[in-house]
Amino acid sequence: METVAASKKSQWDNRVQRASDLAARFAYAREILAFYGEVLRLQQRIFDEIPARSAPAGASDMPLRARLDTAEAVRYLPALLSLAEQKGTAKLAEEARAVRAISLEQQQAMLRGFLAEEPLANGFFARALLQPYGERLAEQIPGTSPQSDRFVCPRCQGRPQAAVLRPEGDGGKRFLLCSFCLTEWEFRRILCAVCGEENHQKLPRYSAEELEAVRVEACDTCRFYLKSIDMTVDGLAVPLVDEAATVSLDLWAAEHGYRKVEPNLMGF
C-alpha cells in the first residue's frame, strides 16, 4: 500500500512540476499554466484527503459518477473559488464570485448537475473539484477489457480528453485518456474516436515544429479532433498537462473548422 501511495504522490508531483516546466518553455501559455499548476496542487490535496469511503453506503454497484459524494466534495469549493478569484482570468473570477453568492444547497446541485452531464455555465468548478474523486474511485474498479474500440471511458463513460502513444516494442500503442476520471484505455491506432472512421486518408494529423511530441489527430468525416501526446518522442511528457499546454494547436484546429471532442479543464 505504501508503494501505491508513493506512486500516486509521485504522479501528482510530476503533473505540478510539468506545468511549471512548460510554463517556462511556452510564453504564450505561461499564465494559463501557472494557474493550472495551482489547480493541480489543490486537486492533489483533495486526492490525498479523500476518505477511504468516498461514496454513499451501498454504492459499490452504482455507476462511478453516481458514487461520488458531492456533500464531501463541496467542502473544498471555498478554496477553489478563492484560487479562481485571486489567480484566474477575469471571467473565471467573476464566475467564482457568482458561485460564492449562491446557497450551499445550490452549490451541491451544481456538482450533481455536472455528474448528470447537464450543460453548466460554470462547469470548471464542478469538474476541478470532482475530478480527484473520479480518479480515486476509478482505481477501485477492476482493469479494463483488452478490446480497443471503446469510444467512451470503460470506467465512467466519459469522453476522451486526449490520445496517448506509449512505447511498446519498436513502436507505440495508442490509448485514450478520459476527460473526467483520467483512466487510459487502449484504442486502435487508425480509428476516429468519435465516428469510427477508419480510412487513414480522412484522418489527417497536424503538428507544429516546436511541439514535436503533441499533434492534432483530426477526422474529416465528423470534423472532431483530439490532441495526441507521443511518449515515444518525449518520455518526460505528462499527457494531462501537455494537452492543456499546447493551446496553439487548439487555435489552429478551430481555425480549420475542427471541433474538440472534449475541452480540457482550462476550457480549450
Greatest alpha-carbon span in the chain: 56
CA 38/CA 146 separation, integer angstroms: 36
User: What 3-state DSSP class applies to 185?
Assistant: strand
Residue with cell 475542427: 258
Q: Give the up-direction half-sphere exposure of residue 7: CA atoms within 13 A in the CB hemisphere.
A: 5
Alpha-helix runs per DSSP H in the chain? 2-25, 30-49, 64-67, 70-73, 77-87, 90-101, 104-115, 123-139, 239-245, 247-255
- pLDDT value of position 145: 55
pLDDT band at 143 (very low <50, low <70, confident <90, very high): low
Give the per-residue SS3 of 200-249. HHHCCEEECCCCCCEEEEECCCCCEEEEEEECCCCCCCCHHHHHHHCHHH
Q: Do residues 42 and 127 lie in contact, with contact meaning Cβ atoms separated by under 8 Å?
A: no
Q: What is the mean pLDDT of the chain?
A: 90
- Mean pLDDT for the stretch of residues 122-129: 93
At residue 20, does pLDDT exceed 60? yes
- Mean pLDDT for the stretch of residues 158-174: 92
Q: For the purposes of burial, counting CB atoms within 10 Å of the CB of 132, is it exposed (0-12), middle (13-18) or buried (19 or more)?
A: buried
Helix (H) or strand (E) holding 182: none
Give first-to-last CA distance, the chain, whole Å. Answer: 36
pTM strictly above 0.75: yes
Residue bearing the bigger pLDDT, 120 or 35: 35
Supply 53's cell numbers: 469511503
Q: Do residues 178 and 156 lie in contact, with contact meaning Cβ atoms separated by under 8 Å?
A: yes
Q: Do residues 155 and 182 lie in contact, with contact meaning Cβ atoms separated by under 8 Å?
A: no
The closest alpha carbon to 54, from 31, 42, 70, 75, belongs to 70
- pLDDT value of position 120: 77
The closest alpha carbon to 192, from 228, 155, 157, 241, belongs to 228
At residue 58, does pLDDT exceed 60? no
Helix (H) or strand (E) holding 191: none
- pLDDT value of position 141: 79
Looking only at the bridges linking them, the beta strands covering 224-230 and 160-168 are parallel
- pLDDT value of position 169: 82
Least confident of 17-26, 35-44, 53-62, 70-79: 53-62
Q: For the purposes of burial, counting CB atoms within 10 Å of the CB of 253, is it exposed (0-12), middle (13-18) or buried (19 or more)?
A: buried
- pLDDT value of position 148: 54
pLDDT band at 52 (very low <50, low <70, confident <90, very high): low
User: Angle at which helices 123-139 and 77-87 pack, to 10 degrees?
Assistant: 130
Instruction: Give residue 220's identity as a one-letter amino acid code.
Output: D
For the chain, domain boundaries: 2-139, 160-260
Q: What is the pLDDT of residues 218-260, one digit of tens each?
A: 999 999 999 999 999 999 999 999 999 999 999 999 999 999 9
